[in-house]
Structure 1
Amino acid sequence: MSSILTNLSALAALQTLKGVNSNLAKTQQQVSSGLRISSAKDNAAYWAIATTMRSDKSSISAIKDAIGLGQATVDTAYEGMQSVIGVLDKFNTKLVAAKEDGVDKGKIQDELNQLKQQMVSIAASSGFNGVDWLNTSLSDIYDSAQATTSLVSSFVRNSQGGVSVDKMDVDLSRLSLFNSTGGGLLQADARDVGTIGGMRILDLTQPIGGDFTSYDGVNGSSGWMAPNGNGGSAGIFALDSFPVGSPLDFNTPGAQISFDITLDKEASNPQNYGSGDTRADFENLPGPYYGGYTPPSIVITKADVDAYDPTLGGIVSTNTQFAGVLNLKLQAQGASVNASYNMYDPPGSNNWVHSPELMTITTLQQAHGFGSYVEISNLNSVGVGTGGLKEDSAFGSRGSGMALDFKTFIDATDGGNKDGIDISFDFSVNGPPTKSYSFNRTYINSVLNRNDGKVETSDDMATLMHSLLDADWPGLVIDATSPTTVIIKSDPAIDRQFGSGTSIAFNNVRVSNEPRSVFNILDIDVEQNPDLIDKYIDYMNITMSKVRAGATRLGSLQQRLDMQSNFADVLQNSLASGIGKLVDADMEQESSRLTALETQQQLALQSLQVANQNPQAILSLFSA
């Protein structure tokens, strides 16, 4: 039907036109913006993800700028370090030249001074944007909290949506050449543990700056006292000079030498060995005392000379021959005779004496008792001389104890290692097996209830040693007997061993920050200290090694920063691609849709015109 009130065809055409116009507007917006999703109403989930990814992409761009700043800082420090290495090579060459005889050390020192200033200048000029890693002003360069700086490395968003900026730490204590309070690579390392409270004696004959820690072993059998250990010695004394030019002729009827020998009785009172070296703390055993072993009298006749060497014809002409004859008689009893004087004189001292003209007699300590003693008594001769034999006696020394010459020391912090410097050692009493121990700043603070890593008193040292050794050596006595002395010994009530079989030692002492620098390079002076040139050269070897290690660390940082920068580029591209896949419009598809919608719009307009023609026809009837 037709109606002048309602044109259903026009309404349908109009509705179609509105739909086409709406789709056309949306498509035109996507084509003009290039976005399929431009606001949250288009697709809330995808819009939120894309917005977050755009934020991350901007953050990574900022991170990349920060990485570039870090790269510039590292590159500048690296170039400075490389330049200093070149100067150090020249410096070392000049030191070697200073060793030559007749060279003008004053002129060489002038050249060294110029090289020093060049190193100072390079270090002061190797900063970027006010940051100079080679020339620092740290109040304590060994404090990791102060010595650690950071470089931006990456941007991270975790699974919970939280964001963070990752950084890489840089330890300036391993890079700084000059620090205002000391401790730079070209300055002395102040973290010196010295003798470690007396555990070792620094051997000044070793190169300064060398490895101070290789004090291995103690030779108890010879009574030699090592720098960080004590060995006992057997009873030994020197006989008189053999009568040169007056041979002993045992061919005379009845010719003989006789004597008694007593071996290995225990000392009943403290022994003083001269030179102020009283070792009563180590040697006074509680009673009862073993009285020694005394075999039947020793008698030497022509038969004994013939048994030693029948070619001698019963005549002994040298101390070597006489020692051989005596050994045939004495070794089975537990003593020996040496043809040359080779011992500490006086016993217990550090005076080592050797003479090929004198003989010594020594106990062999063959299980007669725990003592270490030798005595010749009741010496008689018939028809012949005594050949240097004499009546005398000697106690050995007990090596199961030592006195630590205590000096205060500090276990300092060690860069990034909060536990401080590691100190390790082996310890033994009376020979193997040895046991290994170690401690550091954290351990010291725990045992001594401190916070500074300091072993301040001899009582502190005794407490530290107790904590380390007691569990493995229950018979050990450790006492602080004075402010400068700590006694460590086996308990004589438990351990009655004496003589050459006894020893106590700290061996294989190792300190984690050694070898260390012991000079400031700016203080080196070959003109004023020509006797230190060798030590300067040793110091340079250590220092150059540490500076090269610093350059290596900077090179590693350069490589890592380059990798991070490249990764930031890749990550930015990946984010851009991901955002595009979520929200970008397909331009080919939208362009085709735009053309189709424009055609639909024209058709819809034409349909609307046709639909409006029927009302016009009805109106014409009324006008007629």
Structure 2
Amino acid sequence: MSSILTNTSAMVALQTLKGINSNLATTQSEISTGKSVGSAKDNAAVWAISKVMESDVKGFKGISDSLALGESTVAVARQASETITDLLTEMKGKIVAAQESNVDRVKIQDDIVALRDQIKSVVGAAQFNGLNLIEGMDSVSVLSSLDRQSDGSVNASQIVVSRQDLTMTDGSLGTGAGLTDLSTNVQSTSTTLSATAIRDDGAGTPADISLAGDFSGDSLSFNIGGTTVSFAVGDLSATNTTAAQTIADAINAAQIEGITVANNAGTLEFSSTRDFDQTTISVTQGGASSGTLGAGSVTLDQRAETFTFSNVTVNEGDGYQFALSNGVTATYVASNGDTMEDVVKGLKVAIDSENNADLTTKVSKNGSDQWIIEIANDNATDATVTITANDDVNGNAVQTGGLSGLDNIDVTNDAGASAALDNIETMIQTSIEAAAQFGSVASRIETQASFISNLTDSMKAGIGSLVDADMEEASARLQALQTQQQLGIQALSIANQQPQNILSLFR
């Protein structure tokens, strides 16, 4: 049925043309913007996902900048640590040369001071954008990633860079409570450094060998810490006191380092001023063996007192202090990551830094794998040692710098040169460990930076696959739609002529 009021064909043609125009507009938009989803109305779900991913990409760009800054800062610290290691190694050569007494130690000391000042300069200059990783103790965090969870929340990941303090700062105890386990940590917290020779084995047994009877037909051989003093048959008197005096005179004439012997009415009384060595004295009897020895072997203890530290956990800010009655005070305050080895070696350096020629120290491990520090007193007056230790609960402790004591090295005397040789090894190891730590962190940052770069590229590709237009398809579709548009216009024009055709029926 034909009607002049309702042109169904025109309506269909118009709707078709509108659809074509809409598709054409969409295709033209894709071509002009390059996106198939340019706004939320195009595809709300895809648009929302793409925007979240775009925000993550923007965040990872900031992370890349953070990693680049961190990598540069760590690189400066690593290079500084390596330079300090080289300078300390050069200083060690000077200290080794100073072990000889016939060298110009004053000139060597001048060279050491110059190297020390250069190390101070390196430490002060080793900063990037105001951040110095070889000064101070606080750790530094480098933003390394943003981790999006399934619920949409985002967590930041950090690479923690531990500072490696290579300053020469002396430690200072905090005002926190004393360490409750001090008596466990240090097995002797108060003792006296003897100024006199040692006469026993450390357990109270005197190092005495008594002689009784006739030794004129006997041969005797004394082994004193590896040195042998022998007496053939006929060398000794039949009288025990005279024989004892002959033995004492011969042993003393042998000038065995740190060992002397006295004759007390036929009893040989041995004494030792050896700082760090126990001495075993044994005697072998031959010949007629008519004389009687009170003991075949005795032991002399070392003169140094031993302080044994248990292998307990050391917390940041824990401070240990040795206070001696001769005015020497040595303090070590632990940094983050320190062990009891660091504490003991740090205390040794602190004691040696006092440059007291009467005190000699030694650090080692005992048979129970515990660190010990031994202190010997060569003064004519006894010195009392008292150990205290505090935690840093109040946060006012000053932690000991990794090269503390370096500015007090003095090789102008025998004691100072010997102590410097021990301590420079500890300092070199400290700087080597610092450089190694920074090298490890630098490698982690570099790996993370490469990963973030690749991840960002992958995310950009993912976003593109979601919202980017397929330009080849869009081009082909554009041509088809333009053709359809022309045909739609023609169809609409034909449909609009139908009422005119009906009018012709009435002419």
Matching of residues 3-18 of structure 1 within 5 Å: 3-18=3-18
Q: CA separation of 1:203/1:574 partners in 2, compared to 1, >3 Å: closer, same or farther?
A: farther
Distance (Å, rounded) in 2 between the aligned partners of 1:436 and 1:19: 90
Q: CA separation of 1:19/1:451 partners in 2, compared to 1, >3 Å: closer, same or farther?
A: farther
Q: Alignment partner for residue 578 of structure 1, among 441, 462, 465?
A: 462
Distance (Å, rounded) in 1 between the aligned partners of 2:98 and 2:142: 43
The C-alpha deviation readout for 1:57-81, integer Å capped at 9, x for no partner, is 1100001101111011111111212
Matching of residues 437-586 of structure 1 within 5 Å: 452-453=390-391, 520-527=405-412, 529-586=413-470
Report the equivalent of 1:177: 166
Matching of residues 345-384 of structure 1 within 5 Å: 353=261
TM-superposed deviation, 1:18 = 1.0
Q: CA separation of 1:6/1:409 partners in 2, compared to 1, >3 Å: closer, same or farther?
A: closer
3-state SS of the aligned residue for 1:239?
strand
The C-alpha deviation readout for 1:88-115, integer Å capped at 9, x for no partner, is 1221112222234432222222222221
Per mean C-alpha deviation after superposition, the further-off stretch among 15-24 and 580-589 is 580-589
Contact 2:37 2:468 in 1 (8 A): yes
Q: CA separation of 1:566/1:404 partners in 2, compared to 1, >3 Å: closer, same or farther?
A: closer
Q: Alignment partner for residue 336 of structure 2, among 397, 403, 416?
A: 416
Contact 1:196 1:409 in 2 (8 A): no
Report the equivalent of 2:478: 594
Q: Alignment partner for residue 158 of structure 2, among 156, 167, 177?
A: 167
Distance (Å, rounded) in 2 between the aligned partners of 1:107 and 1:404: 36
3-state SS of the aligned residue for 2:147?
strand
TM-superposed deviation, 1:414 = 4.4
Matching of residues 58-77 of structure 1 within 5 Å: 58-77=58-77
* Amino acid aligned to 1:520: G
Q: Give yes or no for the alignment of 1:196 onto 2:116.
A: no
Q: CA separation of 1:164/1:518 partners in 2, compared to 1, >3 Å: closer, same or farther?
A: closer
Matching of residues 296-445 of structure 1 within 5 Å: 353=261, 414-417=334-337
Tell me how many residue pairs correspond in the alignment. Answer: 375
* Amino acid aligned to 1:107: K
3-state SS of the aligned residue for 1:103?
coil
Structure 1 runs not aligned, ≥5 long: 142-146, 184-192, 205-221, 249-315, 324-339, 342-349, 361-385, 397-402, 425-434, 440-449, 455-515
Q: CA separation of 1:114/1:415 partners in 2, compared to 1, >3 Å: closer, same or farther?
A: closer
The C-alpha deviation readout for 1:459-481, integer Å capped at 9, x for no partner, is xxxxxxxxxxxxxxxxxxxxxxx
Distance (Å, rounded) in 2 between the aligned partners of 1:78 and 1:169: 15
Q: Give yes or no for the alignment of 1:150 onto 2:127.
A: no
The C-alpha deviation readout for 1:162-196, integer Å capped at 9, x for no partner, is 11221122222xx221165559xxxxxxxxx9992
TM-superposed deviation, 1:591 = 1.8
Q: CA separation of 1:105/1:423 partners in 2, compared to 1, >3 Å: closer, same or farther?
A: closer
Q: CA separation of 1:121/1:416 partners in 2, compared to 1, >3 Å: closer, same or farther?
A: closer
Q: CA separation of 1:541/1:40 partners in 2, compared to 1, >3 Å: closer, same or farther?
A: same
Q: TM-score, normalised by structure 2?
A: 0.61
Report the equivalent of 1:110: 110
3-state SS of the aligned residue for 1:178?
coil
* Amino acid aligned to 1:151: V
Contact 1:518 1:539 in 2 (8 A): no
TM-superposed deviation, 1:159 = 2.4
Structure 2 runs not aligned, ≥5 long: 173-181, 219-232, 241-246, 249-257, 269-288, 299-304, 310-318, 322-330, 345-366, 372-387, 393-400
What is the aligned-residue RMSD (CA, Å)? 4.9
Q: CA separation of 1:110/1:202 partners in 2, compared to 1, >3 Å: closer, same or farther?
A: farther
Distance (Å, rounded) in 2 between the aligned partners of 1:110 and 1:419: 34
* Amino acid aligned to 2:151: Q
* Amino acid aligned to 1:224: D
Report the equivalent of 2:131: 131
* Amino acid aligned to 1:159: S
Report the equivalent of 1:49: 49
Contact 2:66 2:143 in 1 (8 A): yes
3-state SS of the aligned residue for 1:572?
helix
Distance (Å, rounded) in 2 between the aligned partners of 1:581 and 1:11: 39
Per mean C-alpha deviation after superposition, the further-off stretch among 604-613 and 38-47 is 38-47
TM-superposed deviation, 1:412 = 7.8
* Amino acid aligned to 2:15: Q
Distance (Å, rounded) in 2 between the aligned partners of 1:615 and 1:55: 58
Contact 2:98 2:417 in 1 (8 A): yes
TM-superposed deviation, 1:42 = 2.6
Contact 1:517 1:542 in 2 (8 A): no
Contact 1:81 1:547 in 2 (8 A): yes
Per mean C-alpha deviation after superposition, the further-off stretch among 565-574 and 405-414 is 405-414
3-state SS of the aligned residue for 2:155?
strand
Distance (Å, rounded) in 1 between the aligned partners of 2:341 and 2:445: 30
Report the equivalent of 1:91: 91
Q: CA separation of 1:95/1:438 partners in 2, compared to 1, >3 Å: closer, same or farther?
A: closer
Report the equivalent of 1:427: none
TM-superposed deviation, 1:614 = 2.5
Distance (Å, rounded) in 2 between the aligned partners of 1:580 and 1:181: 59
Q: TM-score, normalised by structure 1?
A: 0.51
Report the equivalent of 2:271: none
Distance (Å, rounded) in 2 between the aligned partners of 1:233 and 1:530: 32
3-state SS of the aligned residue for 2:128?
coil
Distance (Å, rounded) in 1 between the aligned partners of 2:34 and 2:103: 82
**Percent pairwise identity:** 34
Contact 2:320 2:390 in 1 (8 A): no
